[in-house]
Amino acid sequence: MSREHVLVFDTTLRDGEQSPGCSMNLSEKVNLAKQLDRLGVDIIEAGFPTASEGDFESVKAVAGEVRRPVIAALARAKTDDIKCAWDAVRNADKPRIHTFLATSDIHLEYKLKMTREEALVRAKESVRLARSLCDDVEFSAEDATRTDLDFLCAVIEAVIREGAATINIPDTVGYTTPGEFRSIIEAVRNRVNGIERATVSVHCHDDLGLAVANTLAALEGGARQVECTINGIGERAGNASLEEVVMALRTRADVMPFETGVAAEELYASSRLLIESTGVAVQPNKAIVGRNAFAHEAGIHQDGMIKNKLTYEIMTPQSVGVPESRLVLGKHSGRHALALRCEALGYRFERRALDRLYRRFVALADEIKAVDDHRIEQLVRDEMLEISAA
């Protein structure tokens, strides 16, 4: 099966940083950008330069120090924003201006106080200005999934004529569903004149928990750039998780004929660096990088893992940079896992002694949830004392 390349646009430093509690200083942003470079993303959206002096300086620093990826700066469809974005990224080896304008009626009426006709003119003028400054311009139709499809296509066609090389169709409020989103992408690709001159991108939010599913559906509909963040951080419920999108494509390559340039073994390191930088942890059951993603407690699962890891792991922990799987010893664990852990600690027991040790173990696990090596060694000592006394 031939595979098509998908560009990975990381917006951890921009949309991700907008997540409450996830702000980073200049040095933290540069360090994370360097890790994203090691990860192999194609585009780093380094920030929103007009938001603050600090954000401007951070984007400028990333543009000056990280050379391989495209470095993008976000700008509203306003002259000052666009010029500020260009000033921030102009020293990058591969600069991009990413300008956006809302296109849904609800945003036009209540937020922008603008008609569709006025929005169309603003979009064209903004892309024209950005293109006069920078060869690489991306345009986003904010709230695209709640935008009238005819108007969305008209805006996209117009900005492509003005020189936009990437067209982003964002699900800004996490409203769409996979089938619907695929249909929107297909309609844009079929109805917009000149769409073949642009890369179709998607940027999905997770308000209904569908960001990754919608992103994958969009690829099936013809999108070839995905916008996502490490650990899925971002506004409200967050963005599509980069690690989940990448590993879904890799693990299910049999049904999704796409590939990325991401070095998946750097995913865990990227996640940990982001956690250290922001102080915001991911939930234990977070896919791919959560503490429990490769942890097993249930006795049936542990027994299967001991016999063949493929029974309960569809990817190896090493493939994403996690050192190894963990068999967590708790009240759901079986004798086999306990015996294996005891052997790792240097102890072997006959069946009857193991049964007694297991009963002690279960009683303790009911009280303290997870039993670490120190507790196991204490149980072993108690059991050996009992054997000696007998």
Give me the pLDDT at residue 387, please.
Answer: 67
- pTM for the whole structure: 0.89
Q: What is the CATH number of the domain that holds 176?
A: 3.20.20.70
CB atoms < 10 A from the CB of 383, how many?
21
Any domain includes 290? no
Any domain includes 215? yes
Which residue type is seen at 241?
S
pLDDT of 185-224, one tens digit each? 999 999 999 999 999 999 999 999 999 999 999 999 999 9
Structure tokens given for 280:
């915001």
Give me the pLDDT at residue 389, please.
Answer: 66
SS3 state at 239: strand
Any domain includes 204? yes
Q: Is 192 buried (19+), middle (13-18) or exposed (0-12) by CB count in 10 A?
A: buried
> CB of 315 within 8 A of CB of 325?
no
Dihedral sign for Cα atoms in the order 107, 108, 112, 116: positive
Q: 244 and 309 in one domain?
A: no
Any domain includes 285? no
Look up the domain containing 70 and give its range: 4-278
Any domain includes 284? no
Query: Helical H runs in 252-372?
Result: 267-278, 299-307, 335-344, 351-368
Give me the pLDDT at residue 342, please.
Answer: 84
SS3 state at 97: strand
Which residue type is seen at 350?
E
Q: 170 and 249 in one domain?
A: yes
Q: Kindly state the DSSP code that residue 100 receives in the 8-state scheme.
A: E
218-239 as b/e: b if 16+ CB within 10 A: bbbbebbbbbbbbbbbbbeebb
Q: How many residues does the chain have?
A: 390
Any domain includes 289? no
For 40, 71, 181, 244, the CA distances from 250, given in Å and listed in that order, are 15, 25, 22, 10
**Residue of 354, 361, 301 lying closest to 326 (CA atoms):** 301
pLDDT of 348-381, one tens digit each? 888 888 888 888 888 888 888 778 778 888 888 8
Look at residues 251, 278, 305 and tell me which one is the last residue of a structural domain: 278
Look at residues 229, 246, 278 and tell me which one is the last residue of a structural domain: 278
Q: 228 and 200 in one domain?
A: yes
Q: 240 and 123 in one domain?
A: yes
Q: 89 and 33 in one domain?
A: yes
> CB of 198 within 8 A of CB of 164?
yes
- CA dist., res. 102 & res. 108, Å (int): 7
- CA dist., res. 43 & res. 289, Å (int): 22
Give me the pLDDT at residue 313, please.
Answer: 85
Q: 207 and 112 in one domain?
A: yes
Look at residues 243, 278, 313 and tell me which one is the last residue of a structural domain: 278
Task: For the chain, list residues with pLDDT below 50.
Answer: none
Q: 79 and 167 in one domain?
A: yes
Q: 102 and 160 in one domain?
A: yes
Give me the pLDDT at residue 308, please.
Answer: 83
Give me the pLDDT at residue 42, please.
Answer: 98
Instruction: Work out whether strand 166-171 and strand 70-76 pair parallel, antiparallel, or are unpaired.
Output: unpaired
Q: 188 and 125 in one domain?
A: yes
For 16, 101, 146, 190, 215, the CA distances from 176, given in Å and listed in that order, are 20, 19, 8, 20, 11
Give me the pLDDT at residue 140, please.
Answer: 98
Which residue type is seen at 63?
A
Give me the pLDDT at residue 299, please.
Answer: 67
- Provide the domain count of the chain: 2
Give me the pLDDT at residue 360, please.
Answer: 86
Q: 346 and 228 in one domain?
A: no
